[in-house]
């Protein structure tokens, strides 16, 4: 359950951030009034004047919208970008090519799975503007929504705002600072935590996982306690013969480690099998470092849980088996 | 030679009005090559005496000497090592570890006492004498009461102890097995020149004893044979 829930949590969490991760962003500048929500940010050319656009830095223009075409309707995040900057270079195509005209879109692979096709004309934005899908990209989700990369010049039309606003923000590999009162700079962590629902969702999952780990450790401790209680008379005989309680306790400890490592390995295998039968719409992601860390945490916590049975072993009185 | 000597042993439990004297001024001797019986009814203090003989409990007063060494003041760790090196216990119940086969019952000891145990050849002869050679791969649940007790005796002998302490070893056995176990203890005492002490209320074992103590209400007396 811990590994399945972790994979679900991580999968959902990634649906918020894959695009941002793909951009290799370390900091973001946006309008102060947006309060960290990039899709609500509106910047003018004057606001952007101090921020160069190059291979390490890019302007982005975000707005949520509904993409419609051939009977399909899907909520997307339109991300307006410039050619040959940090973001456009970070797009990894799975099919098609990058946009060459302002009426072309490169959209998330998720939309291909939902039925959108290469070359298909779709309507997007408040004015139902027509675009043609020319490419599909992987790792292109922002705040749960699949991303549709388009020309940044089309953004104000799609969003339905005055064309004096030219972008939502600037993303950079470097650490940006606010250079006017109108803008504010965020680190990557601050930016992600300000993403609507992201922090609350992660906290909820984190608490569920932590409680599951606590429950698992309690179950393991009870299991070891019962196992030890059942062996107390045998241990007492061994103690009477002179077998040190340290030897018995260390054996119980090593058994615990073996049980925990085996259980964790089996759990990971079962979780992987479950992921094969879970519908593709449900995002699951197995992050190897996270699995190793969680597994190690479980082994360590389970081993700590064995301290209670070890305490029982230390207190076993061999006299109890004399006189039957 | 006197192997095991108790001098003026008294063991009391509780205090004030709840004070119970389990053993009262006990003097006791067991020697190599002899089977010593401690006979007594339930509640006479036999088990308490056995635990003091085995270094599992300290007496309230008196001295316990084994091979001339006082064991009544040993620390828990020292007492553990002493039992492992010098005493072979045969207990009434829970004798064998249920999830280990007969062979592993012995080799378990090797993990904590790798040296000083009987040689493989010697142990093979014990197994033959005890008639359990063919049981070596069986688990305790596959053994009869008599077989279990013989395996327990073999395990007690495995560490090559100076003396054997047995607690009601015939409690779960029928008459024919009682004779078998009685003769075994006698043979171990004589052939291995070990001091064997059996605590029991089974009078059928009298026939095999070289020395018999009667324990009644915590007081001991040596019986003339």
Tell me what percent of the residues of chain A surpass a pLDDT of 70.
99
Please judge whether A323 and B112 are an interchain contact, meaning their C-beta atoms are less than 8 angstroms apart.
Answer: no
The confidence band for A299, taking pLDDT boundaries of 50, 70 and 90, is confident
Instruction: For residue A190, give how far its alpha carbon lies from the nearest alpha carbon of chain B (Å).
Output: 57
Question: HSE on the CB side for B125, CA within 13 Å?
Answer: 8
The full set of domains in chain B, from first to last, is: 30-57+73-223 (3.40.50.300)
For β-strands A145-151 and A104-108, DSSP reports them as: antiparallel
- Which is nearest to A183 in space by CA: A33, A15, A12? A33
Report residue B109 as tokens: 């000891």
Contact between B80 and A243 under an 8 Å Cβ cutoff? The reply is yes
Residue ranges of domains in chain A:
16-195, 199-321
- What are A91-127's pLDDT values in tens digits? 999 999 999 998 999 999 999 988 999 999 999 888 8
Q: If interface means Cβ-Cβ distance under 8 Å, which residues of chain A face chain B?
A: 233-234, 236-245, 247, 318-319, 321-324
- What are B62-112's pLDDT values in tens digits? 999 988 888 877 888 888 888 888 899 888 765 788 888 998 988 888 888
Please judge whether A322 and B84 are an interchain contact, meaning their C-beta atoms are less than 8 angstroms apart.
Answer: no
Residues A237 and B108: their CA atoms lie apart, in Å, by: 13
- What are A263-277's pLDDT values in tens digits? 889 988 998 898 888
- Chain B CB contacts of A322 below 8 Å: 47, 50-51, 54, 56, 91, 167
Tell me what percent of the residues of chain B surpass a pLDDT of 70.
98
Please judge whether A322 and B83 are an interchain contact, meaning their C-beta atoms are less than 8 angstroms apart.
Answer: no
Task: Tell whether the model's pLDDT for residue A195 goes beyond 50.
Answer: yes
- Which of A53-62, A226-235, B135-144 comes out lowest in average pLDDT? A226-235
Please judge whether B167 and A243 are an interchain contact, meaning their C-beta atoms are less than 8 angstroms apart.
Answer: no
The confidence band for A324, taking pLDDT boundaries of 50, 70 and 90, is very low
Q: What radius of gyration do chain A's Cα atoms show?
A: 28
Residues B63 and A15: their CA atoms lie apart, in Å, by: 77
User: Which DSSP letter does residue B16 get?
Assistant: G
B94 interfaces chain A, CB cutoff of 8 Å: yes
Mean pLDDT, range B199-205, rounded to an integer: 90
Average pLDDT, chain A: 87
3 state DSSP class of B68: coil
3 state DSSP class of A209: helix
Ramachandran region of residue A190, left (φ > 0), alpha (ψ -120 to 50) or beta? Answer: alpha
Q: 0.80 exceeded by the pTM?
A: no
Task: Tell whether the model's pLDDT for residue B198 goes beyond 90.
Answer: yes
Closest alpha carbon within chain A to B94: A234
Please judge whether A324 and B111 are an interchain contact, meaning their C-beta atoms are less than 8 angstroms apart.
Answer: no
- Residue-by-residue DSSP string for B128-141: HHHT-GGGTT--GG
Contact between B74 and B82 under an 8 Å Cβ cutoff? The reply is yes
């Amino acid at each position: 359950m811990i590994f399945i829930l972790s994979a679900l949590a991580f999968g959902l969490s990634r649906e918020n951030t894959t695009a941002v991760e793909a951009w290799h962003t370390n900091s973001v500048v946006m309008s102060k009034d947006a309060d960290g929500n990039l899709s609500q940010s509106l910047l003018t050319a004057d606001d952007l004047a101090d921020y160069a656009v190059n291979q390490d830095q890019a302007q982005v223009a975000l707005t949520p919208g509904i993409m419609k075409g051939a009977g399909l309707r899907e909520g997307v995040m339109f991300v307006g970008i410039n050619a040959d900057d940090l973001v456009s270079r970070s797009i990894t195509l799975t099919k098609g090519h990058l946009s060459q005209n302002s009426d072309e879109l490169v959209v998330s692979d998720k939309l291909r799975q939902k039925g959108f096709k290469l070359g298909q004309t779709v309507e997007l934005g408040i004015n139902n503007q027509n675009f043609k899908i020319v490419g599909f990209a992987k790792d292109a989700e922002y705040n749960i929504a699949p991303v549709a990369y388009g020309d940044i010049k089309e953004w104000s039309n799609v969003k339905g705002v005055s064309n004096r606003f030219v972008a939502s923000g600037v993303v950079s590999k470097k650490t940006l600072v606010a250079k006017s009162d109108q803008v504010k700079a965020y680190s990557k962590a601050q930016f992600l935590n300000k993403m609507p629902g992201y922090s609350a969702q992660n906290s909820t999952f984190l608490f569920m996982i932590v409680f599951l780990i606590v429950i698992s450790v309690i179950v393991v401790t009870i299991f070891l306690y019962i196992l030890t209680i059942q062996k107390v008379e045998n241990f007492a005989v061994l103690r009477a013969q002179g077998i040190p309680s340290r030897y018995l306790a260390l054996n119980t400890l090593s058994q615990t480690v073996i049980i925990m490592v085996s259980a964790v390995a089996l759990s990971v295998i079962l979780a992987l099998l479950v992921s094969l039968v879970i519908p593709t719409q449900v995002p699951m992601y197995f992050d190897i470092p996270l699995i190793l860390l969680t597994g190690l945490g479980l082994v360590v916590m389970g081993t700590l849980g064995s301290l209670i049975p070890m305490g029982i072993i230390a207190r076993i009185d061999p006299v109890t088996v004399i006189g039957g | 030679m006197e192997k095991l000597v108790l001098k003026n042993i008294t063991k009391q439990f509780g205090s004030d009005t709840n004070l119970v004297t389990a053993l009262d001024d006990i003097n006791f001797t067991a020697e190599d090559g002899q089977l010593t019986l401690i006979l007594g009814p339930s509640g006479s203090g036999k088990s308490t005496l056995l635990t003091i003989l085995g270094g599992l409990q300290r007496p309230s007063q008196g001295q316990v000497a084994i091979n001339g060494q006082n064991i009544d003041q040993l620390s828990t760790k020292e007492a553990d090592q002493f039992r492992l090196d010098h005493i072979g216990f045969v207990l009434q119940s829970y004798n064998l570890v249920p999830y280990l086969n007969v062979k592993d019952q012995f080799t378990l000891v090797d993990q904590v006492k790798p040296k000083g145990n009987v040689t493989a050849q010697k142990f093979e002869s014990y197994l033959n004498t005890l008639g359990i050679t063919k049981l070596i791969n069986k688990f305790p649940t596959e053994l009869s009461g008599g077989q279990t007790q013989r395996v327990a005796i073999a395990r007690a002998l495995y560490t090559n102890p100076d003396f054997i302490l047995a607690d009601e070893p015939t409690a779960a056995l029928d008459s024919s097995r009682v004779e078998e176990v009685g003769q075994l203890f006698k043979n171990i005492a004589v052939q291995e020149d070990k001091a064997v002490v059996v605590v029991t209320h089974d009078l059928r074992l009298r026939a095999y004893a070289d020395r018999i103590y009667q324990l009644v209400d915590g007081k001991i007396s040596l019986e003339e044979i």
